[in-house]
Amino acid sequence: MELKCAVQMYNWGKNGMDSMVATLMKSANADFVVDEQKNYAELWMGTHENGPSYLKDADVSLQKYIQENIEVLGSDTVQTFGSNLPFLFKVLSINKALSIQVHPNKEKAKELHKLYPNIYRDPNHKPELAIALTPFEALCGFRPINEIKDYLNNIPELVAVIGEANVSLLLRAADSMVSDVLQQCFRSLMTCDSNEVTRQLKNLINRLHDIDDSYKQWIKADLLKRLHMDYPGDVGCFTIYLFNYMMLQPGEAIYIGPNIPHAYLSGDCIECMACSDNVIRAGLTPKLKDVPTLIQILSFECESLSAKKIQPSREDLFTEVFRPPMPEFAVAKITLPPGRPSYNLKPRSSASILLIVDGKAGISSKIFSRGSVLFIPANDEVEIKVLCGCHPMLMFQAFPNI
């Protein structure tokens, strides 16, 4: 069953046809009009109330269809999650940095939703998986402590906004005390007077003109200037020296569990998460910042960026599956080479959503092109006839990880 899906127009999204979200929608929906002046940031595929999908032929919401035909979810899903699709599937097209953010665990999500329902609109957690479709920049988790200390020893402006006393404590902290002192340093940074943050950022950026190329590369001069241009005077610009910076190549993925600080910076990706829209923000955003809550729940564990990457397992010659340590979702990446006439999708015991990113397919006597989104009931056998044989066909399939 083909779905008609929601598009979110956030200001960090790519403009018009530069956005993969827009081009996918336009390819699969002849009546979709792209406005070159608008930002097409996210394509939502699922049942979340902030952007629900509809059955294209019946104009019935996917949520309503599932409620009336609960067997399509599969018995394991119903037993584990009730009558709800437990994941939200997305495509993101990022032109400038998303906010520095963290997602609460289930217990904290319920508490925040009860206390502040207008801000935290659902009681669910939001672990997420991002798979790069293009070169994809992100900040994720705190750097190894030696890298953080190296920046503190060489960037006086960073020391000024964190505070010399705090920095001195961190540089001398025993391993067992690093997390506590790092928390103190991060709190000091995020609550620093905004005028002082603006002054120190300008000092640092002005100083970049007088340093050699190797130092510019180490200090991430281009990234700092880009973030400062998009979010002038924002304290989040300094976090590039505390968080892991990574550039994912197409097909590489990161998993972000509860309480892990992160910010996506640029590029296009497939994203899948538990069905939630709970976000606690602290920087690089004009939206509401909730610094006290973010610091309260934040994980201050320092890990290398490789620890944030997630490797897929090979399911067959053409399919590899990313399985994060959460039951709500897994994502299969399916690549069919040129010249292969057909492929049988592996039947899943749970309902799934299939997105065609590249290529054209014949399924059940219908033709589906790039950007088509299909809901597949549990245990359905689906044969895909490849109709465009000159390029690889690329698809992603999201389903519960049970």
Cα 294–Cα 272–Cα 263 angle in degrees, nearest 5:
35
User: Which residues are the active-site residues?
Assistant: 281
Cα 362–Cα 368–Cα 371 angle in degrees, nearest 5:
145
Going from the C-alpha of 231 to that of each of 100, 222, 280, 285, 362, the distances in angstroms are 12, 14, 18, 7, 46
Residues 6+ apart with CB under 8 A from 94: 12, 13, 14, 41, 136, 264, 265, 266, 267, 268, 269
DSSP 316: S
CB-facing half-sphere around the CA of 79: CA atoms within 13 A = 6
Going from the C-alpha of 16 to that of each of 37, 41, 72, 269, the distances in angstroms are 6, 10, 36, 17
Read off the tokens for 173: 């902290």
Going from the C-alpha of 9 to that of each of 33, 48, 256, the distances in angstroms are 14, 16, 23
Strand partners, 269: 92, 132
